[in-house]
Amino acid sequence: MKTVIDPRDERTQPARIVPGYPQTPLRNPREPLIRRPPTLSELSGPLEVARRVRVLGGDIAGQGEKQAIGQLIHLRVRVLDEDGAPVGGTVVEMWQANGAGRYIHPNDDDHAPPDPNFYGAARLVTDENGQFELRTVKPGAYPVPTRDGWWRPPHVHFSLFGKVWLSRLVTQMYFPGEPLNAQDRILNAVPDTVARERLVAQLVPPSAQPHNALVYEHRIVLRGRTATPEQS
Amino acid sequence: MIPTGEATIGPFFPPRYVDAGANDLTLFEGRKAKGEAIEIRGRVLQEDGAALENLVLEIWQTDAKGIYRHPADPRHAQADADFLGWGRTVTDAGGEYVFRTIRPGATEGRAPHINFMVMYSGLMRILKTTMYFTHEMDVVLSAVPVSRRELLIAKKQGPDGYRFDIRLRGENETPFFDD
Ligand SMILES: [Fe+3]
């Protein structure tokens, strides 16, 4: 099993220093990043993360008495590698705000109420087609505490491993048609409009199944010319 | 007041995400890995010197014999069954992290080293670097400007310990790789 990895195309990736995002100039390197020849060290990587961390399951919206508040959605996500081949058996971690735009996190402020029936994180493993399905509620938008009124649009964070160290990806998924998408400083830090669109899921036309949830489809490409941009 | 990074875009990983024990690579499913156990500690700082709390670090390395647990390694069938080679931790309030692991072996063309990955809010992209134990040259260390190589070499600390501080930006900035 040998993997070839092309360098990432900078235009399809977010700028590291983002105007109006005050932490980015303090945390991103000043020195140019160093290009290194990929060796076995970078072209191998952990394939059995699921044996080290707890897999948490694909339903975080809850059932019965303990259901989260919000628009019930299903996310159908397909994970592909550089060659467009499905990446099966890889660990995918996700986290999101609740329906009101609040994270379950001590650092989150109190602009919106917590939801006792929503933890807001899952850890799954893709099937042999590189797919997973997650039942959740649509995350709310939330304000960023900068002085000038920046709101994050509804989004879901994803962290993926793939097959080698260089395919590790942390990204975010956005929802189509959200007015806040056009102003978000993180989404729009990606200069290439086509690459940016790859961060937005697609709404599947509602049908009989499932009768009670909206379905969104999304593709995450770990590397290559059609790679999904990083969004940490 | 400038808000903290965590308040800026919400948390990075949620609190329960870093499983207890994920930073101890010497134990895998209750079994002990072969080789010399070592401890790696360090602090992660941003440009103004502030220590970064709740920052996520991951590592990837060979086992004691220099074998990756991955089919790309021609010797992977002989990899230590009790060593995963991967770990994750988060920094504490003082910006400190700790990994317990096995001293990696050398591989073809490479001195013993440990791959690091840094993930945090305000980092728009994952940062990747590599920690070495000695100045012994290898193909990746050679790609680093001479004046900065020292920053990738861990400092011996105690009988089985090493210190590897990571400075994201500014004076003594850790070299990061573009890949
Ligand atoms: Fe968020």
Annotated domain spans of chain A? 24-221
Higher pLDDT: A146 or B148? It is B148
Residue A21 appears among annotated catalytic residues: no
pLDDT digits (tens, 9 = 90+) for B52-66: 999 999 999 999 999
Higher pLDDT: A164 or A6? It is A164
| Segment among A53-62, A126-135, B126-135 with least mean pLDDT | A53-62
Question: Does B2 score more than 90 pLDDT?
Answer: no
What is the third-level CATH fold of A24-221?
A: Protocatechuate 3,4-Dioxygenase, subunit A (2.60.130)
pLDDT (0 to 100) of residue B9: 52
CATH homologous superfamily of B5-167 equals: Aromatic compound dioxygenase (2.60.130.10)
- For chain A, give the percent of residues with pLDDT over 90: 81
pLDDT (0 to 100) of residue A41: 96
Task: State how far residue A35 is from chain B, nearest Cα, in angstroms.
Answer: 5
> Per-residue pLDDT averaged across B64-76, rounded?
97
Task: State how far residue B37 is from chain A, nearest Cα, in angstroms.
Answer: 18
Question: Does B51 score more than 50 pLDDT?
Answer: yes
- For chain A, give the percent of residues with pLDDT over 70: 97
Question: Does B5 score more than 60 pLDDT?
Answer: no
Task: State how far residue A208 is from chain B, nearest Cα, in angstroms.
Answer: 34
How many whole angstroms from its chain centre is CA A50?
19
| Dist CA B162 CA B159 (whole Å) | 9
Residue A103 appears among annotated catalytic residues: yes
Q: Which of B9, B170, B39 is nearest to B102 (CA)?
A: B39
pLDDT digits (tens, 9 = 90+) for A179-198: 999 999 999 999 999 999 99
> Which residue out of A12, A34, A188, A199 would a mutagenesis test of the B interface target, given it has the greatest number of B Cβ atoms within 10 Å?
A34
Residue A111 appears among annotated catalytic residues: no
pLDDT (0 to 100) of residue B11: 55
pLDDT (0 to 100) of residue A149: 87
How many whole angstroms from its chain centre is CA A131?
14
CA A111 to centroid of ligand 1, rounded, Å: 14
What CA–CA distances, in Å, run from B161 to B102, B133, B152? 11, 11, 16
**Which chain A residues touch B122 with a CB distance below 8 Å?**
21, 23-24, 26-28
pTM of the predicted structure, to 2 decimals: 0.95
Q: Which of B60, B95, B145, B154 is nearest to A39 (CA)?
A: B60
Higher pLDDT: B6 or A224? It is A224
Domain boundaries, chain B: 5-167
CA A102 to centroid of ligand 1, rounded, Å: 9
Contact A27 B168 (CB under 8 A): yes
